[in-house]
A and B are shown apart, each in its own frame.
Chain A
Amino acid sequence: MKPPGWAQLVLWAVAGEKEAEFVAGDLHEEFLLLWADRGRSAGSRWYVRQVLRSAATLLGLRFRSGEAAHLLAAALVAVAMPLLLLDRLWSFVYSHIPLKDGLERAPGFWAANLVCVCACAALCGSLAHSLPRAAGVALAAAAGAACALWCSTATAPILYAGLVILAAPASSMAVFVWRRPR
């Protein structure tokens, strides 16, 4: 007897690490009561409605506690900045070589970018010590990667863009799960 998984994920992503466990526990307790009283679908509907209606308030609480500022810093410093630095490095190096200015990025360069962003996001994930923080870092990593792609001087291939936006949060969460104490 479990609440809808996606709604639980939303709750972990929006609630700060200070509140997430208690809010999730309270909702789970009332969900079980509703399940026994009115059935599964009524319980699930109630759970989803509570999560969605509470999302903005819980997110506001997370911002107020300063946790969101840490996540934003992680996204910008650890994910967006390395990507932008690599991009500027390519432009800088080839602008100094005659006839090479404006050269298209090589596939190897895109691959190096991808490895770099995965490593940086994984490092951020390894520093998260709770599921809400890890989920927040993953979300911030995806946003940071998207931000870097948007600010890039070259048009990135669609496949690369998709891979970066997905791989950044995935590697962050994977390392968190791997390092999490059992």
Chain B
Amino acid sequence: MPKGEALGEFEYLVMLAVVRLGASAYGMRVRQEIGERTGRDVTIGAVYATLERLTEKGLLTASMSDPTPERGGRAKRSFALTGAGMEAANRARQELVNMLDGLRFPLAGRIQ
């Protein structure tokens, strides 16, 4: 796999949130999903920067919906995984599983 194609940790979280949310995967819901599941206080800017990067890499695809009153008359941009995105997510999971294999958690030992 060429350098730069591997998923970063936050990119992986965003992709998993998009998978979980299905058709309702857009900026605000992705932000909330990550916040609820990981306890991280994520900003909307960080989420959009990552969604944009993943779209440029061809791992996500974006579609626009009509403006709605609850969004102040603004349109919504929803995201979904592409075939390459699914492959990348599966590969990232396998890499993590391989690295975790044989380790016992919580890790014990002295902090150096």
Inter-chain contact B52/A57, CB cutoff 8 Å: no
Judged by a CB distance under 8 angstroms, whether B40 is at the interface is no
By secondary structure, the A interface counts as helix
Please report which residues of chain A, range 1-52, place their CB below 8 angstroms from some CB of chain B when the two chains form the complex: 2, 19, 21-30, 32, 50
Evaluate whether A28 and B48 lie within 8 angstroms (CB atoms) in the complex, with A22-B27, A50-B43 already known: no
Judged by a CB distance under 8 angstroms, whether B84 is at the interface is no
Judged by a CB distance under 8 angstroms, whether B106 is at the interface is no
By secondary structure, the B interface counts as helix
Q: In this complex, which of A25, A28, A32, A56 has the most chain B Cβ atoms within 10 angstroms of its Cβ?
A: A25
Bound CA span A25–B27, Å: 9
Contact of A58 among B45, B67, B77 (CB under 8 A): B45
Judged by a CB distance under 8 angstroms, whether B6 is at the interface is no
Bound CA span A21–B52, Å: 14
Report the contact-size class of chain B (Cβ under 8 Å from the partner).
Answer: 20 to 34
Judged by a CB distance under 8 angstroms, whether A96 is at the interface is no
Nearest-CB distance from B14 to chain A (Å)? 14
Q: Which residues of A contact B104 (CB under 8 A)?
A: none
Judged by a CB distance under 8 angstroms, whether A123 is at the interface is no
Evaluate whether A30 and B28 lie within 8 angstroms (CB atoms) in the complex, with A55-B45, A57-B49 already known: yes
- List residues of B whose CB falls within 8 A of some A CB: 26-28, 31-32, 43-46, 48-49, 52, 67, 70-72, 74-77
